[in-house]
């Protein structure tokens, strides 16, 4: 199996894990570890602009990761990743872009929660596991995006150039 195909499969695996981990983080209500109530952006009774921003950012990150997963499945199919403009293969770059943007958008949502919302709600308890799951999911999505960008770098080289990845 070619090294660029292995990078695509690894990137898709990281993308799937990042998508799943961040979806679990979004779906659970332990953004603040409180024994009294579940506190999270999708289960909070208090509606504020910062909470709505966290909801929007994490949801947009999940949507972008979903697009990345769809593109990733298409690019690993044999003969389907040959959508080119000149010498540039677009499939892996588009997938890497989706995963990278998804990771950064998840980070923006987490940063908003950590700076604006948590500063108001920290009396209820420390940050919970849902917050950390979204942090981890965003990081894993960034790794998946990087792997797809590396596979795109390997697939656009001509046969007489030296490959950076064996």
Query: 66: domain CATH number?
Result: 1.20.140.150
Answer whether residue 163 is part of any domain: no
Answer whether residue 165 is part of any domain: no
Answer whether residue 60 is part of any domain: yes
How many folded domains does the chain comprise? 1
Answer whether residue 94 is part of any domain: yes
pLDDT in tens, 77-136: 776 545 666 666 677 888 899 999 999 999 998 888 888 877 777 666 778 888 899 999
Q: What is the mean pLDDT of residues 11-32?
A: 89
Q: At what angle do helices 90-112 and 3-27 cross, to 10 degrees?
A: 30
Answer whether residue 82 is part of any domain: no
Answer whether residue 24 is part of any domain: yes
Instruction: Give the residue among 114, 126, 11 at the shortest CA–CA distance from 58.
Output: 114
Domain span including residue 123: 3-28+36-77+87-155
Distance CA 145, CA 98 (A): 7
């Amino acid at each position: 199996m070619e090294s660029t195909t292995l990078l695509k499969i690894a990137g898709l695996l990281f993308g799937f894990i990042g998508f799943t981990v961040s979806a679990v983080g979004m779906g659970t209500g332990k953004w603040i570890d409180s024994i009294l109530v579940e506190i999270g952006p999708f289960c909070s009774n208090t509606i504020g602009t910062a909470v709505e921003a966290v909801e929007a950012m994490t949801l947009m990150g999940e949507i972008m990761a979903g697009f990345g997963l769809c593109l990733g499945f298409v690019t690993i199919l044999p003969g389907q990743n040959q959508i080119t403009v000149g010498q540039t293969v677009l499939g892996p770059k588009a997938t890497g872009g989706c995963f990278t943007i998804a990771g950064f958008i998840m980070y923006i949502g987490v940063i908003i929660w950590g700076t604006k919302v948590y500063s108001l709600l920290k009396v209820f308890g420390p940050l919970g596991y849902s917050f950390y799951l979204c942090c981890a999911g965003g990081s894993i999505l960034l790794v998946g995006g990087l792997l797809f960008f590396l596979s795109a770098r390997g697939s656009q080289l001509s046969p007489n150039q030296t490959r950076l990845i064996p």
